[in-house]
């Protein structure tokens, strides 16, 4: 597992998995420590049965979020809300490495830009423009963006129940 290299106390960190069986969505939280480990996240998502792939929704502090979609054993799509998070967070660096994207240099760390598959949820009703706009809205915290995404995709109640069970 990757060690956390940040002074954050972990408040607000969570990883939720959403998957659909027949017409119903199920959402539950993964252990908080898994928010720091991309390999662990991928392994956990591959364990979920689903007709449309398992979706991982990861919120890391007040800084960024990651969406992971796994279809079967091999097909994986990733979205990172902010490449600059890779300067401080190992899991963000792991996502960029998985995507084969270089970690930005210090002079490139002044602009918040997403990375990865903007169409990761397009077949479920969240197109690239909407996801890009949500990722770029600096007034929203990562957990608020993920709640908005869950609402748009139709599993807000299950998502909220899972997140409310954290505390």
Question: What percentage of the chain carries pLDDT values higher than 70?
Answer: 90
Report CA-CA distances (Å) from 10 to 20, 66, 68, 87. 29, 16, 20, 17
Residue 120 · residue 38 · CB < 8 Å: no
Written as six digits, the tokens of 38 are 């991309």
Distance CA 123, CA 62 (A): 28
Q: State the pLDDT confidence band at 8, using cuts at 50, 70 and 90.
A: very low
pTM of the model: 0.89
Provide the 8-state DSSP code for 32.
G
Looking at residue 4, its pLDDT comes to 32
* pLDDT per position as a tens digit, 82-129: 999 998 899 999 999 999 998 887 666 677 789 999 999 999 999 999
Which is it for the CA torsion 144, 64, 37, 19, positive or negative? positive
């Amino acid at each position: 597992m990757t060690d956390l290299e940040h002074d954050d106390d972990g408040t607000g960190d969570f990883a939720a998995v959403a998957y659909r069986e027949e017409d119903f969505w199920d959402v539950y939280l993964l252990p908080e420590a898994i928010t720091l480990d991309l390999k662990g996240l991928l392994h956990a998502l591959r364990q979920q049965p689903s007709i449309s792939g398992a979706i991982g929704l990861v919120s890391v502090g007040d800084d960024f979020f990651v969406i992971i979609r796994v279809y079967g054993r091999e097909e994986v799509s990733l979205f990172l809300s902010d490449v600059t998070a890779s300067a401080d967070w190992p899991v963000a660096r792991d996502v960029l490495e998985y995507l084969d994207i270089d970690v930005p240099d210090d002079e490139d760390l002044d602009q918040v830009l997403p990375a990865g598959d903007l169409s990761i949820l397009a077949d479920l009703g969240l197109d690239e423009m909407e996801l890009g706009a949500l990722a770029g809205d600096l007034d929203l915290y990562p957990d608020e963006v993920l709640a908005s995404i869950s609402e748009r995709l139709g599993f807000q109640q299950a998502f909220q129940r899972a997140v409310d069970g954290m505390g």
